[in-house]
């Protein structure tokens, strides 16, 4: 029994039109009580023109799209009421639906039902949220490929190989007396693991690139005071966002800016110059700089082209474990530039070499944008788990452990594979995922 749920699918603001959605077993029954036409006889989907009414009182003139399950997004009987976009009207329509037996939908409940009825797998469902939150054209592309089921297909070869191996082992264990079946020997398992660990590695590598395209990356600009960090932020953003002066310690708090290079969202963070300081406020800023540096995906470490001193060496120590681009700023005051370092001049907006280096470091080519990739953090985490299990299986197999012991680990890996798309029917996980969605989606 799927209760009929109702929610506003559009933004809760005044606009030309708004959409109120209903879905559930009693959807048509409830709609019939509040609409001037009978929608219960439709075959697949039909558009109606009519009036929403509260008893005998007309609430609004609307267009109503009715979908007979399974020909709907959720697979249930559904309706979308396109009404005039006034909060007074859409709230009233929701109120009337509630009065007639519907209940308010929770966040992501429509998508969750589509998943429960097998219309979408979890990878597709997760992509809906990603699609809504996409901040760049390329990010949208990746999420759309996932929604269309292209990404889920990447799992199929692994699932098939593992399924075949498991059933072969089962047959060997259950029917040892049969001579004409293929033997599940250690070599077969070794071959399976070698092939599929490498396949998973390629999925993870592409997934991480996809994740960068989808979610963007964070870059912290660090260095000692006055080397031109804020000027670099401004030059990259092409606006005067951070205050620039020749007074050391001008930037005290993190200044953020968003930039899109090659379709990738880059979250830039200008930080307070790192140095020994007795000033309490500046000291807090410096602490924040170091924290930001540690959390970012990539660091731009800035030095002055003319002087490199002990303080700079400290900065180099701080970034030694991070993926770092070292730049020498103020190249305009330099007579001879060699090719061994990255020279830029934020003052003259001469920062192309830095932009090129950022793109190079991201390791992205056009190819990454046009192929599906498992770019979701949850899904990537599961792939890492599966890889770990298979690596253990490989060690056990090479040590010639009994096959029935190895079998239980392979089964564990298989369950993880199913959990990628939600075929393991772990509804708690699904619930957690859908709770992050908006109401009405
Ligand atoms: N000549 C020259 N001066 C620069 C350049 N970039 C920044 N400056 C100057 O250096 C001083 C400090 O710059 P700022 O961006 O505030 O440095 P921050 O403390 O590292 O954020 C200012 O007076 C800037 O005008 C550059 O490329 N060339
Ligand atoms: Mg600054």
Q: Which ligand is nearest to the CA of 302?
A: 1
- For ligand 1, whether the C-beta of 231 sits within 6 Å is yes
Question: Which tokens in the block code for residue 298?
Answer: 């990539």
- For ligand 1, whether the C-beta of 106 sits within 6 Å is no
Cα 356 to ligand 1 centroid, rounded to whole Å = 21
By the 10 Å C-beta count (0-12 exposed, 13-18 middle, 19+ buried), 355 is classed as: middle
Bridge partners, residue 222, by sequence = 301
- For ligand 1, whether the C-beta of 214 sits within 6 Å is no
Q: Atom 8 (ligand 1): residue with closest C-alpha?
A: 228
- For ligand 1, whether the C-beta of 347 sits within 6 Å is yes
Q: Which ligand is nearest to the CA of 275?
A: 1
Q: How far apart are CA 254 and CA 248, in angstroms?
A: 15
- For ligand 1, whether the C-beta of 132 sits within 6 Å is no
- For ligand 1, whether the C-beta of 227 sits within 6 Å is yes
Q: How many CB atoms lie within 10 A of CB 280?
A: 8
Q: Atom 22 (ligand 1): residue with closest C-alpha?
A: 246
Question: Which tokens in the block code for residue 385?
Answer: 């788990």
- For ligand 1, whether the C-beta of 332 sits within 6 Å is yes
Per-residue pLDDT of the chain (441 residues; tens, 9 = 90+): 899 999 999 999 999 999 999 999 999 999 999 999 999 999 999 999 999 999 999 999 999 999 999 999 999 999 999 999 999 999 999 999 999 999 999 988 999 999 999 999 999 999 998 998 888 888 899 999 999 999 999 999 999 999 999 988 988 887 777 666 677 789 999 999 999 999 999 999 999 888 888 888 999 999 999 999 999 999 999 998 888 888 888 888 899 999 888 778 899 999 998 888 888 888 888 898 889 989 999 999 999 988 889 999 999 999 999 999 999 999 999 887 777 889 999 999 999 999 999 988 887 666 667 889 999 989 999 999 999 999 999 999 999 999 889 999 999 999 999 999 998 877 777 777 788 777 778
Bridge partners, residue 148, by sequence = none
Cα 321 to ligand 1 centroid, rounded to whole Å = 27
| SS3 state of residue 150 | coil
- For ligand 1, whether the C-beta of 305 sits within 6 Å is no
Question: Which tokens in the block code for residue 238?
Answer: 């092409």
Bridge partners, residue 46, by sequence = 66
Q: Atom 7 (ligand 1): residue with closest C-alpha?
A: 228
End-to-end alpha carbon distance in the chain: 20
Bridge partners, residue 341, by sequence = none
Mutate to test the pocket of ligand 1, among 332, 346, 351 (most ligand atoms within 8 A of CB): 346
Q: How far apart are CA 282 and CA 229, in angstroms?
A: 16
The beta strands (E) that lie in 26-126 are given as 45-54, 57-67, 78-84, 103-104
DSSP code per residue over 293-323: HHH-SEEEEEEESS---HHHHHHHHHTTTS-
- For ligand 1, whether the C-beta of 346 sits within 6 Å is yes
Q: How far apart are CA 318 and CA 311, in angstroms?
A: 11
Cα 253 to ligand 2 centroid, rounded to whole Å = 9
- For ligand 1, whether the C-beta of 226 sits within 6 Å is yes
Task: Output the CA–CA distances (angstroms, integers) from residue 160 to 59, 167, 378, 392, 421, in the order listed.
Answer: 55, 11, 22, 20, 14
Q: pTM, whole model, 2 decimals?
A: 0.75
Q: How far apart are CA 128 and CA 195, in angstroms?
A: 32
Cα 360 to ligand 2 centroid, rounded to whole Å = 26
Q: Which residues of 394-408 are buried (b: 16+ CB within 10 A; e: fewer)?
A: bebbeeeeebeebbe
Q: Atom 6 (ligand 1): residue with closest C-alpha?
A: 228
Cα 248 to ligand 2 centroid, rounded to whole Å = 8
Give the torsion through C-alpha atoms of 307, 311, 315, 316, to 10 deg. Answer: 60
Which atom of ligand 1 is found nearest the CA of 246?
23
Q: Domains in the chain, start-ordered, CATH in brackets?
A: 5-116 (3.30.1360.120), 152-213+376-421 (1.20.120.430), 217-366 (3.40.50.300)
- For ligand 1, whether the C-beta of 275 sits within 6 Å is no
Q: How far apart are CA 438 and CA 24, in angstroms?
A: 18
Cα 383 to ligand 1 centroid, rounded to whole Å = 45
Q: Which residue has the tokens 């506003």?
A: 8
306: left (phi over 0), alpha (psi -120 to 50) or beta: alpha
Q: How far apart are CA 23 and CA 78, in angstroms?
A: 4
Cα 228 to ligand 1 centroid, rounded to whole Å = 4
Whose CA is closest to 154, among 133, 129, 127, 132?
127
Bridge partners, residue 261, by sequence = 264
Which atom of ligand 1 is found nearest the CA of 249?
19
């Amino acid at each position: 029994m799927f209760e009929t749920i109702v929610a506003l699918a559009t933004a809760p603001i005044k606009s030309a039109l708004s959409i109120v959605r209903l879905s559930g077993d009693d959807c048509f029954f409830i709609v019939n009580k509040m609409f001037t036409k009978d929608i219960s006889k439709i075959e697949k989907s039909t558009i109606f023109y009519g009036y929403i009414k509260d008893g005998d009182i007309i609430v609004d003139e609307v267009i109503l799209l009715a979908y007979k399950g399974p020909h709907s997004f959720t697979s249930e009987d559904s309706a979308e009421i396109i009404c005039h976009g006034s909060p007074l009207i859409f709230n009233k329509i929701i109120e009337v639906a509630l009065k007639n037996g519907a209940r308010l939908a929770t966040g992501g409940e429509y998508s969750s039902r589509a998943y429960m009825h097998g219309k979408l797998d979890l990878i597709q469902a997760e992509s809906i949220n990603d699609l809504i939150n996409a901040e760049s054209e390329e990010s949208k592309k990746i999420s759309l490929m996932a929604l269309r089921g292209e990404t889920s297909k990447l799992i199929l070869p692994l699932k098939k190989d593992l399924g075949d191996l498991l059933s072969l082992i089962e047959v060997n264990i259950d029917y040892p007396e049969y001579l004409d079946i293929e033997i599940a020997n250690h070599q077969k398992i070794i071959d399976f693991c070698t092939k599929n660990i490498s396949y998973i590695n390629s999925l993870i590598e592409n997934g991480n690139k996809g994740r960068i395209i989808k979610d963007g990356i964070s870059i912290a600009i660090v260095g000692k005071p006055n080397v031109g960090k804020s000027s670099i932020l401004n030059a990259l953003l092409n606006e005067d966002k951070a205050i620039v002066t020749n007074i050391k310690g001008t930037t005290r708090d993190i200044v953020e800016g968003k930039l899109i290079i090659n379709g990738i969202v880059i979250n830039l963070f200008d930080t307070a110059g790192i140095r020994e300081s007795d000033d309490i406020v500046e000291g807090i800023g410096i602490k924040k700089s170091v924290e930001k540096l540690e959390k970012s995906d990539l660091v731009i470490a800035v030095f002055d082209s003319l002087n490199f001193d002990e303080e700079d060496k400290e900065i180099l120590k701080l970034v030694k474990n991070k993926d770092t681009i070292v730049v020498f700023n103020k190249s305009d005051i330099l007579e001879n530039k060699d090719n061994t370092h990255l020279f830029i001049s934020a003052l003259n907006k001469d920062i192309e070499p830095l932009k090129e280096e950022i793109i190079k470091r991201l390791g992205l080519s056009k190819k990454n944008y046009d192929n599906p990739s498992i770019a979701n953090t949850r899904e990537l985490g599961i792939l890492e788990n599966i890889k770990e299990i298979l690596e253990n299986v490989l060690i056990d197999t090479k040590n010639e452990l009994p096959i029935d012991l190895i079998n239980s680990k392979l089964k564990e890996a298989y369950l993880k594979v199913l959990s990628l798309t939600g075929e393991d029917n772990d509804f708690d996980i699904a619930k957690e995922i859908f709770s992050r969605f908006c109401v009405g989606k």
